[in-house]
């Protein structure tokens, strides 16, 4: 389908562009993909208003996650998530056995070191979609063998927010938590974004590697 | 012929329409009509804000009902995005609609004008659904940042049309 490939190509060009930008900024070792994650966040945030228009009100968080796995995923990747797991304490693992951005690369471990680049956008997409539904989360991705990919969603509860948020001065974190309590979206707050790991290390996004960047205004 | 013109003049379904954000800040408040109560911005805001408490209350009761054991019939009803009549004063009736993304849409009809007094629930429902569609389009405008007031004149025009057309 011609319209599908347009999205794929645009996506890979955005990543190339982000790589060039981070090279220009002198980031030799690490690749800064926070801008890609931000683009995903904005897109996910906006698409959610459209997708949930004909949908009844969600019962709870799990109901929302099921929506992400079925309708949201079908809308973007033309397939459903293959497996959803949760510990019922705010951690959800979404497994896609044939993740669309990775299917063209390999069926094993070749190019594995580049895989994190191609999941950053989707992490942002999930996070943005959930943010619009008033669920604040940190989304990380894990690629062990090529076409399959796992997305970990850590839902940030309001009471735990000040401790989870990166330390950028006490007054800032208090202000953010107040915003969360009254249900305001963190769109103008700090965007938490993923940096890809260096090729030699294990190919995981981890919570410790999350850094904060100022969003564009 | 004269009768027809008079009829056209009064075919305004809603006198005021508002979009309220997640944090209860007004994103858009628009009004039309020759009604003095809705002519100025301040009284429009007052009208809409009187309904917000009722709206929050309705949402809260939704949550408690869905968690508790309840009959299937009321549950499907409460999961509806359209909340129905929230509040009515001597002169106005205020209807509410809350999207899944916690955006509140409020529609005010005038009960003194002939077309507003005998308005049906289904008409209000369709009007609010159309307003939701318009809002979703306005959000997808790349020049609009979520959380900001909606300044798009296209959106304004479309909403004014919606209020006039009686759907």
- Which H, E and C letters describe chain A, residue by residue? CHHHHHHHHHHHHHHHHHHHHHHHCCCCCCCECHHHHHHHHHHHHHHHHHHCCCCCCCCCHHHHHHHHHHHHHHHHHCCCCCEEEECCCCEEEEEECCCCCCCCCCCCCCCHHHHHHHCHHHHHHHHHHHHHCCCCEEEEEECCCCCCEEEEEEECCCCCHHHHCCCCCHHHHHHHHHHHHCCCCHHHCCEEECECCCCCCCCECCHHHCEEECCCC
CB-CB neighbors (< 8 A) of A55 in chain B: 100
Mean pLDDT of chain A: 74
Are residues A184 and B145, on separate chains, in Cβ contact within 8 Å?
Answer: no
B11 touches chain A (CB under 8 A): no
Closest chain A C-alpha to B112 CA, distance in angstroms: 32
Closest chain A C-alpha to B46 CA, distance in angstroms: 21
Alpha carbon distance B12, A54 (integer Å): 26
CB-CB neighbors (< 8 A) of A57 in chain B: 62, 78-81, 98, 100
CB-CB neighbors (< 8 A) of A56 in chain B: 76, 79-81
Q: Which positions in chain A have a beta carbon within 8 angstroms of at least one beta carbon in chain B?
A: 45-46, 48-50, 52-53, 55-59, 132-134, 179, 182-185, 187-188
Stretch (H or E) spanning B6: helix B2-10
**A185 closest CB neighbour out of B80, B132, B147:** B147
% of residues, chain A, pLDDT over 90: 44
Q: How many CA atoms lie within 13 A of B5 on its CB side?
A: 2
pLDDT in tens, B19-29: 999 888 888 88
Best mutation target among B65, B78, B79, B146 (most A Cβ atoms within 10 Å) is B146
Average pLDDT over residues A22-26: 80
- Given a cut of 80, whether residue B148 has pLDDT beyond it is yes
For B86, the 3-state DSSP assignment is strand
Other Cβ atoms less than 10 A from the Cβ of A45: the count is 23
Are residues B136 and A53, on separate chains, in Cβ contact within 8 Å?
Answer: yes
pLDDT in tens, B38-97: 667 788 888 888 888 888 888 877 665 544 444 444 444 567 888 888 888 888 889 999
Residue of B nearest to A43 (CA): B140
Are residues B145 and A46, on separate chains, in Cβ contact within 8 Å?
Answer: no
Highest mean pLDDT among A22-26, B74-78, B99-103: B99-103
Which band of pLDDT confidence, cut at 50, 70 and 90, is reported for residue A207? very low
Are residues A179 and B66, on separate chains, in Cβ contact within 8 Å?
Answer: no
**A133 closest CB neighbour out of B101, B140, B146:** B101
- Given a cut of 90, whether residue A72 has pLDDT beyond it is yes
Best mutation target among B101, B102, B140 (most A Cβ atoms within 10 Å) is B101
pLDDT in tens, B109-130: 887 766 666 778 888 899 999 9
């Amino acid at each position: 389908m011609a319209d599908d490939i347009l999205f794929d190509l645009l996506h890979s060009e955005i990543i190339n562009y982000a790589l060039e930008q981070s090279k220009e900024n002198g980031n030799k070792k690490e690749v800064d993909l926070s801008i890609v994650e931000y683009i995903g966040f904005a897109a996910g945030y906006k698409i959610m208003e459209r997708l949930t228009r004909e949908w009844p009100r969600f019962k709870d968080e799990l109901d929302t996650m099921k929506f992400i796995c079925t309708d949201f995923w079908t809308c973007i990747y033309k397939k459903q998530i293959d497996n959803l797991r949760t510990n019922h304490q705010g951690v959800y693992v979404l497994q896609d056995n044939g993740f669309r951005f990775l299917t063209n690369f390999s069926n094993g471990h070749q190019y594995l070191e580049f895989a994190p680049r191609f999941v950053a956008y989707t992490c942002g997409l999930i996070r943005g979609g959930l943010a619009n539904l008033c669920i604040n989360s940190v989304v990380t991705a894990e690629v062990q063998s090529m076409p399959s990919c796992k997305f970990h969603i850590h839902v940030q509860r309001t009471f735990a927010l000040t401790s989870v948020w990166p330390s950028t001065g006490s007054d800032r974190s208090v202000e953010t938590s107040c915003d969360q309590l009254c249900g305001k979206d963190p769109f103008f707050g700090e965007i938490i974004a993923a940096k890809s790991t260096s090729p030699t290390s294990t190919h995981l996004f981890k919570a410790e590697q999350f850094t904060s960047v100022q969003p564009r205004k | 012929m004269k009768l027809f013109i008079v009829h056209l003049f009064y075919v305004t379904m809603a006198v005021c329409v508002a979009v309220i954000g997640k944090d209860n800040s007004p994103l858009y408040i628009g009004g039309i009509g020759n009604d003095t109560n809705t002519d100025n911005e301040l009284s429009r805001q007052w009208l809409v804000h009187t309904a917000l408490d009722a709206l929050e209350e309705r949402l809260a009761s939704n949550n408690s009902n869905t968690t508790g054991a309840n009959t299937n019939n009321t549950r499907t009803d409460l999961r509806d995005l359209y909340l129905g009549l929230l509040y009515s004063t001597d002169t106005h009736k205020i209807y509410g609609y809350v999207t899944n993304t916690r955006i509140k849409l409020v529609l005010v009809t005038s009960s003194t004008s002939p077309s507003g007094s005998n308005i049906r629930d289904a008409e209000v429902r369709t009007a609010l659904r159309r307003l939701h569609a318009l809002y979703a389009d306005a959000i997808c405008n790349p020049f609009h940042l979520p959380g900001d007031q909606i300044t798009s004149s296209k959106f304004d025009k479309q909403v004014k049309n919606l209020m006039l057309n009686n759907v």
